[in-house]
Structures are given as structure tokens and as C-alpha cells.
Structure 1
Amino acid sequence: MTHNMSLTAKLECPTEISSRYADLPIKPSSLSQPKIKYFFALDLYQATHILLPLMGAIIETMRFLGPEYCALSIVEGRSTDGTYDILSRLQSELAAMGVRYYLTTSDLNPKAVWEDRIKHLSTLRNQALQPLTSTGVGKFSPYAADTTILFINDIVICVEDLLELLYQHQTQDAKMTCAFDWNAGGGSFYDSWVSRSMSGNLFFEITHDAKYWLTQDMFFDDPPNQERYARHLPLQVYSCWGGMVILDGAPFVQHKLEFRDHREDECHMGEPTLLAKDMWGQGLGKILAVPSVNVAYEYKATREAKKGRGYVHDRIASANYKPRKELVEWVDKPPYCI
């Protein structure tokens, strides 16, 4: 509940929260039952080895934002390493903080042979959102009309990673905002299959025989955004995930959006790409990728990614991060070839 990131993950996470994020906490309300503004959602499996930095960062973020305005929903699936036992023991501590906590389980196995992986992943993601999407709207709902979803994978993060994504989502008036997740050594982008640039292509080029992955030539056929990426500035993309995302909750609560698998007449795509497709179809194509937020799935890989790709506090201190340079110029139409 009070995890020191430098002790286990050995990350150089700031010990103090920047004034940049001063507008993110919710102002105290006169309501006897404060409306929830921030909804944290996770699907976890065999996650004991990274629970300390992951949950530590989430809990510290909720303390900063205002615990009574936060909800945490976790779906645990089939773990044999004690993940569920640890998560269940957080109940009393989170209740004492004022956080609404929903812990459920699932037997679905997206990696099982002959199973429909994308269908199962979509079901698990929707299950994590279920406490939010099942409540409806109106004055009797425990959730604010503008509730924000923070969907987080089993990654190692700093508090500033979550806060910068939230900051960019609000400042840029985005509808979906993604981090960048990396493989070992920070050498190649991890969520390459589900992510598409504004050209409609992958973030980096892969030859037709899949022998060569040109991982360092990011946004190779999207020059304006390649230039922004080189300066570590936020950029518009067609779709992304990157280990964690910020989403506007209203379309999910109103049942205009949900995670899904491909339909009969569609190409086989990952559920984040299909979500982005549905968002563009509803005029919600303000989808943002933030190169200053770099994460990975193990301690060592995260240290390498942040050392090579940068920590948030280092990137936003650069001359590139000035208000006029930081803001994206949104494109209203998706790539023609999607």
C-alpha cells in the first residue's frame, strides 16, 4: 500500500508529484455520496511477480486523485501463483481509503488451443468494465457522467506514467490515449499487431515474408507524426493500446461501444483495433499515442525501456513540451485504406 518503486523495480520514479497534474484531482463535493470519476480496470493472470509496482503505482495515483472518486475493477483468471489471494487481501485497505473495489474471476483461457483468442479477450475486458457499464446513467448512478476509464495491463509503471496519460487525455480532448509498451531492451514496440498509424499501416514496417522487422523506423510512412514521435510529442494514430489506455467512459455506459471480436465480413483484428474502428465510425477518432510514457512487462524490461526511451519527467522538461508544440492537430477522417 506504500510501495517504494526504487527498492524492487529499481526505477527512478519521482517521489513527488509534479504541479503539472494539479488539476487532475477532483475538487471536494458537497454530495454525501461522491460520484466516481476515475475507473481503473485490469485483467490479471499469474501476476504476483509484478503486483508490488503495479498496484503500488495505482494506489498512489488514487490517493492523489481522491480515493473516494475512484473505483478499481480487477478480473483475475486461473492464476496458481497466489495472485487472487493477494488481490483479495487488498479489500479492507481499499475500503478504508474510500475506493470502491470489484474483484471477480474468470475461467476463460485466451491462449488455449482452438479457442477464439480475440473473443475471449473481449469478454474479459468487458467483464472488467461491467461494474461501470451495468449501472446506467442518471442522478442515482454512482458514476459521474464524464467518468474516465484507465485500462491497465500487467505492466511495471510509475505514478507519473498514469498521470501523464490522464493529463494528455484531458488537455488534448482525446477519446482514447495510449502509452508505448516495449519488448526487452526497449528495442522494439510490443503492441505492434493492434496499433496503426494515420497512414493505416503498422507503426513500423515488416517485410512480406516476416523475416525483417524494421523496428527502429517508427511511423515510416507518416512523415508529420514521425517528426512528432522523434521529438517525443503526442501524436494522433488510427489505433493503439501500448500496455495501458485512457478512455472516455460515457460511450461504454451508453452501450455505444464495447470490446468485441471480428464480424463475419471483417478481417481478423485485435480487440483494440476493432474498438478504434468502432470509435472512428462514431466520430470518436481522437486517438492519441504518448511517446513520453514508456512501459514494459517485467522489472528489467521496464528499466531498459525507460532508460532508452525516457522517463516522463525527463521528456516533459524538454523544450519540445511547450503548449503550442504539445497540442496535436486532429484529423477528422480515418486513413482511406482501413
Structure 2
Amino acid sequence: MLAHIIPKGRKKTLYAISSLIFITVFYFYRKSQIGYFDLEKVKKLQRIRLDSAPFCLTKSRLSFDRYLERNSRYDYLEADTYSSPKVDLAGKKILQEGGGIGNAAILRKKYFFAINLYNNEEVIPYMIQELMLLFKFFGVENIFLSLYENGSKDNTKKLLRDFSEYLKTFDIKHDFVLEDGSRPKEFHRIEYLAKVRNRALDPLEKEKKKGRVYDKIIFMNDIFFCRNDILELVYQSDFQGSDLTCPLDFFSEPDWENKLIFRDTWVARDIEGSRFRQLFRELSDHPETKLRNDQKLPFQVQCSWNGVAVLNPKPFYDKDPLRFRRSHVGTGECSASECSLLCNDLWNRGFRRFVAVPEIMVSYRHRDAVYVDINYDKILSTNRTLVEKIKYIDGPSKIFCVGLEGMNILEPDQPDLWVNYTTTGVKVT
């Protein structure tokens, strides 16, 4: 209403002043960020050629990458790390459609990567290759890598020490904790895993005290992935305006008729609260989810993790910061996975837009990673009639839960239950 009563000449003056303020703030922002880094080391990463992991270079994968990069949809994410960034109108439009702020495309987002590793000498070399491609794409000044490892008996520690030295050559900010201790003789699996995951989140507070707050948390398991897998998850996080965005994880059974099997059935719940099935074409009976999954389009879920999650960082910066946990003992709460409980806690705090992206699939073994080409070929031949943008609906009243309460065990040991998961409501806005 005020815009209608301000004279046109004064409007132009106000717009000019606003633009000048923004440019000034942006200039000093850029100057402070660049001053935090060794500019020559940053430039060094931009000059060198980085190779992709071999399973990211197959004919099917390269065709899939061209499909993912259609219409230059990742351009707004790419940072020019030592000169003025592009004013990317396409990126601004994407963020506005996803509920974000257009200027965020100019300022570039910052990404906090968190990883836990244990006896992972097989996957680490491949992770390094694809992580470095991501870091180069996002820009060094926009990255922090936190990694917690403990108790590995193979070459994991040596590989990570070498990786740390390599990161230093490009001034990529990171915090690696490598400890000798392993699991105690008596332990509750979820309590232990929650503590391990939280250790990877510890640097969030240290970085905040330095004035560096991150726009997204990318929490990874020990997975095989390609650069564009993560870019697509970040893109969908922006486009869908989601609080948690993840792929589908799988393992392979070459002798089975269905060679690729969905893995994370203990955690993943559809928007009706039901457990995902193992066959990818039959993950859910929810009608909209089934339609979207058939067309390999992002769909809404009550919870998911599936190897990697792009998270809204706001609840992790609250006065009572969100962290992983085990179930509250003695309260009757179902003793679910630490990732399931994180989903429930996000719902309780009002962060309820959860999305699974079926186009993106990750695995935990190299022998599985080579089978994912089957999925790429299916995606490229899929006829899509539905829109990419999700229309969010409210969450389920209850969810399916299988608890783990025993000590020194790895698998759930409790009866199946349908349980309440939030005390603040299920409305998704």
C-alpha cells in the first residue's frame, strides 16, 4: 500500500539507495570472506583438473548427467571464488519458487558437510574424488568439512590424514577427528550412533563463533556417489523448499530378478507413515507417492535418510540446538533409529517438508555402485506427465515403528507398533 503513495521520483531514489546499501554490504561481506582464506590456494583448486570416480564416467551415467544439468539448472549454485559472482536470474527464480530469497543466489550459500567413517578404506578414495569436484563447484569459501572417525582397523586413518593434507593445499576449511577408541564392551547401538553423529556436528558452534553460519547441512554416510547426485539434492532442497532432502539407497543382488533393492527400510516412512518396501517400483501404496515414484519425480515423505540428507540448518542453531539422540528411556517412546528420531524432532519443531528424490541412488559397496546404470537408463526413458513441484500435504497421525532396546545388538528386537511421533501437530505449510 505504501508503494502507491510514494512519488515516482522518490521511489527511484529509494531503490537506488537500497541497491547501494546492498552492494556495499555485499562488498564488505565478500572482502571479509576472501580475507579468511589464502587466495592463492583457492585459485589453485580452480586451475587444476579433477577426475571423476570411474563409476561416474560410464556411458549411461554421462547421459544421466546431461539430463540432470538440463536448462543449466545448477548454474546458480556454481561459485566464482575469487571474482564477482554472476547475477544469476535463473537461480533467483528457482529460489523464489522454492520459497527462498532471490538475493541468496547472488550471495551464494554455505555448506557444512558432516561425515562419519569407520573401516572405510574401500569408499574413501572415491568419496575424495567426488567431494573435491563438489568443493570446486561450490567454491572453497563456501565449504566446511567435518569428519569423525574412531576405531578403524584398516587404512581409513592413513587415508584421512592424507586427505587432510590435500585439503590444506587449497585452504579448504575442515575438522577431522580420528580417535583410537571403538565401541564399548556394552553399548546401545542407537545411543552410540547418535553420539558419533553428533561429534561430526560439533564444529557448527565453533564456526558460528567465528561468524560463519551455514545455509545447508549435508550429512553423509559412507556412500558411493557422484558430484551431480549431491547437486541435484541441493537443487531440490531449494526448489521444493524442503527441510530434509535425500536420495534412495540400495544394495544389489545380481542373481535376483530385481537386481537393485531399497536398503533403508528401518528409517524411511511414506507420507502415510508406512514403512518403505524393498522393491523400488512398490515403495509405497500412497497414491500420489506411487505416481510420482513411477515417474521418478521427488515425493513427500514423513521420514527418510537413505545415505545422505540435505538439512535445513535452522533447528541445529536454536538455543536448544537439535541433535541426534536415542529414545527417551522410561517414557514409552518407540526405540527407533537415531535418524527416525531426528525426523520426529524436526516435526515437533515445525520443520516438516521432507522429500525423497528417486532419481538419485547411492550405495555402500563398490560392487553395488556399478549396477546403478540400470536405474539411469530407466529414468532417461520415463515419460513424465506430472509437475516436478511437490504439493505438500499434512503428515500422518501415526507412524509405523520397530524398536531396538537390547544392548549389544544391531537389529530391531521389539514388536511392530503404530505410534504417535509429534506433540505439536502434523500440519505442513
CA distance in 1, matches of 2:263, 2:123: 18
For residue 5 of structure 1, the aligned residue among 44, 50, 53 is 53
Q: Distance in 1 between matches of 2:394 and 2:171?
A: 40
Moved more, 95-104 or 326-335: 326-335
Distance in 2 of aligned mates of 1:50 and 1:91: 16
Mapped partners of 1:142, 1:91: distance in 2: 21
Contact 2:233 2:247 in 1 (8 A): yes
1:79 corresponds in structure 2 to 152
Larger Cα Rg: Structure 1 or Structure 2?
2
CA contact (8 A) 1:198 1:335 kept: no
Between the aligned partners of 1:62 and 1:156, the Cα distance in structure 2 is 17
Q: Which residue of the partner structure matches residue 224 of structure 2? A: 156
Alpha-carbon displacement from aligned partner over 1:84-141 (angstroms, at most 9, x marks no partner)? 111111223212323101100345646x76411101111111100110134446xx52
Structure with the higher fraction of residues in helix conformation: 2
Letter in structure 2 aligned against 1:299: H
Say if 2:302 and 2:395, in contact at 8 Å, map to a contact too: no
Shift of 1:13: 4.2
1:308 matched residue in structure 2: 374
Matched, 1:184 2:258: no
Q: Comparing 99-108 with 55-64, which one deviates more in the overlay?
A: 99-108
**Which deviations, in whole Å up to 9, do the C-alpha atoms of 1:115-172 show, x marking residues without a partner?**
11101111111100110134446xx52224xx21111111111111111111111111
Residue 68 of structure 1: CA displacement? Answer: 1.8
Structure 2 CA distance for partners of 1:229 and 1:190, relative to 1, 3 Å: same
Sort the Cα spacing of 1:143 and 1:11 in 2 relative to 1 into closer, same or farther, 3 A: farther
**Post-superposition offset of 1:216:** 5.0
Q: Determine whether 1:121 maps to 2:121.
A: no
Q: Could you tell me whether the CA contact under 8 Å between 2:247 and 2:360 is conserved in 1?
A: yes
Provide TM-score, normalisation by structure 1: 0.84
Choose from 291, 296, 302 the match for 2:363.
296
Q: 1:283 aligns with which of 350, 353, 359?
A: 350
Q: Is 2:330 the counterpart of 1:258?
A: no
Q: What are the residue-to-residue correspondences of 1:46-65 with 2, within 5 Å?
A: 46-65=119-138
Number of aligned residues: 317
Given that residues 25 and 64 in structure 1 are in contact (C-alpha distance below 8 angstroms), is that contact kept between their aligned partners in structure 2? yes
Is the Cα contact below 8 Å between 1:41 and 1:129 reproduced in 2? yes
Match of 2:75 among 22, 27, 37: 22
Distance of aligned partners of 1:180 and 1:109 in 2 relative to their CA distance in 1, 3 Å threshold:
farther
SS in 2 for 1:237: strand
| Aligned 8 A contact 1:3 1:52 in 2 | no
Per the TM alignment, residue 26 of structure 1 is displaced from its structure 2 partner at its CA by 4.1
Alpha-carbon deviations, 1:21-69, whole Å to 9, x = none? 11113465899xx997111111001111111211211111110110221
Normalization by structure 2: what TM-score?
0.67
Contact 1:153–1:244 (CA under 8 A) maintained in structure 2: yes
Q: Which amino acid aligns with 1:100?
A: K
RMSD, aligned α-carbons: 2.9
* Alignment match, 1:327: 389
Change (3 A) 1:143 1:220: closer
Deviations 1:257-278 (A, max 9, x none): 1111101220110011101101
Rounded to whole Å, the distance in 2 between the matches of 1:308 and 1:80 is 34
- SS of 1:49 mapped into structure 2: coil
| More RCO (CA 8 Å, sep 6+) | 1
SS of the residue 1:224 aligns to: helix
Task: Please report how far the alpha carbon of residue 332 of structure 1 lies from its aligned counterpart in structure 2 after TM superposition.
Answer: 3.5
Cα gap change, 1:3/1:115 in structure 2, threshold over 3 Å: closer, same or farther?
Answer: farther
Kept after mapping to 2: 8 A contact 1:239/1:273: yes
**1:141: which partner in 2?**
211
Q: Deviations over 1:200-222 (max 9, x none)?
A: 11012xxxxxxxxx635634431
Counterpart Cα distance in 2 of 1:245 and 1:53: 19
Instruction: Quote how far apart the aligned CAs of 1:247 are.
Output: 0.5
State the Cα distance separating 1:245 from its structure 2 match.
Answer: 0.8
Query: Alpha-carbon deviations, 1:227-286, whole Å to 9, x = none?
Result: 111111101101111111101122112244111110122011001110110111111110
* 122 and 292 in structure 1: CA distance in 2 versus 1, 3 angstrom threshold: same
* CA contact 2:77–2:108 (8 Å) conserved in 1: no
1:67 — aligned with what?
Answer: 140
Q: How many Å separate the matches in 1 of 2:115 and 2:370? A: 22
CA distance in 2, matches of 1:196, 1:310: 24
Q: Structure 1, unaligned stretches of length 5 or more?
A: 205-213
CA distance in 2, matches of 1:42, 1:36: 19
What's the offset of the Cα at 1:298? 1.1
Distance 2:58 2:366 in 1: 8
Runs (4+) of structure 1 moved beyond 3 Å?
1-4, 7-17, 26-31, 106-110, 133-137, 214-217, 314-319, 332-338
